[in-house]
Amino acid sequence: MIRLSNGTSEGVGTETRLARLSLHTLWGLLITMSAGLILSCGSDKPTNPCGGIDAISSVLLTNPAYSPIDTSVYYFDSGAPKSYYDEFRQNCGAPFSRVVPTGIYRVRLNDDSPAELVLEGAIQPRISPDGKTMYCIRGSFEVWRMSLPNGQPEFIKDYEFSSPSWYGSDTLLAMSRSYGISLFDIRNDSIINIGLNGYSPDASVDKKICHIWGGAIYAFVSGEDQLLRSHSLYDVVNHLRWSPDGTEVTFESGSPPKIRVVNLVGQERVLSPGGETDPCFTADGDSILYIRRTGINTPLILDGQVWIMSAKDGSQKRPVTTWSRIRP
């Protein structure tokens, strides 16, 4: 079956807009929660209630992506605005020597060096199959690209896209728009409408698109939609990513979220016990990157880290970002 966007445009627009606004909504919620916690650590306590720390960032790490040319992991860190630092300093008296801005960061596997800010104010990094180009979203759904590892960022256009992914090897991107999913030709910056409803798309090198529609997971192959996983009211799915060979899709689902993998015939396996988000295969398909939440380690901050594990059975779990985002 093919679901044409002109048949259900109202529903698609509502659901997709909610998906696209989710990042902004979450950010607002995090800031609100953080501000409330900051105010609660007032002056009635005899000593500094926030502890001695020299760096601070907010709770949100997302979108890990892997580049095989330099074995680097790129991800989004929400950072914190200057007002957040100022208010924390005013209420808690803690000085800071390191600021963590919002943007896309890079850290190398098997390297203890601190992460490096690659592009400030950018989200949703997606790396080309050859590892040489990154596309991302910046500002008000602007499309940007950058040659890796150290090229200059280049603004393409503001197409109101989100969730870019590579459809094929090097010429097309699949992206989520306000009314569905479209392709973007990077050779001439043109949009190709394919009449596909849904959101949170991810494309494969062999030109399949997995996406969410009505809470279920579908794979769009040769103009037809194939159901991979049915909708469950108590098991919401998110963050779909193809394996490099296009035979499996990893995703998160449940509460707390668990990392799962489903193949093209609907067979599924669970790789994590819960509390993990944003899975992404490495270029060889042997491992999956993901975000692990380690809980509250100060009165204010949730410490999230990028981890890696076996894509086969979830074994060999270890952190990629071994440095602490909140340093004592």
* Domain 5-319: homologous superfamily in CATH: TolB, C-terminal domain (2.120.10.30)
Tell me the pLDDT of the chain averaged across its residues: 76
- Please measure the distance between the N-terminal and C-terminal CA atoms of the chain and give it in whole angstroms: 56
Paired strand residues for 108 = 72
151 has a pLDDT exceeding 90 = yes
The residues spanned by each domain of the chain are 5-319
By DSSP bridging, strand 98-99 and strand 55-56 are parallel
Tell which wins on pLDDT, 26 or 264: 264
179 has a pLDDT exceeding 70 = yes
Cα(160)–Cα(171) distance, integer angstroms: 19
The CB-based long-range contact list for 262-267 (8 Å cut-off, 24+ gap) reads 262/217, 262/228, 262/229, 264/219, 264/226, 264/228, 266/227, 266/228, 266/229
10 has a pLDDT exceeding 50 = no
CB-count burial class (<10 Å; 0-12, 13-18, 19+) for 187: exposed
124: its two tokens: 């949703």
What does the pLDDT look like over 245-259, one tens digit per residue? 999 999 999 888 999
Q: How many CB atoms lie within 10 A of CB 261?
A: 21
Q: How many CB atoms lie within 10 A of CB 99?
A: 12
Task: Grade residue 206 by pLDDT with cuts at 50, 70 and 90.
Answer: very high
Task: Grade residue 303 by pLDDT with cuts at 50, 70 and 90.
Answer: low
- The average pLDDT across 191-198 equals 90
291: its two tokens: 């975000």
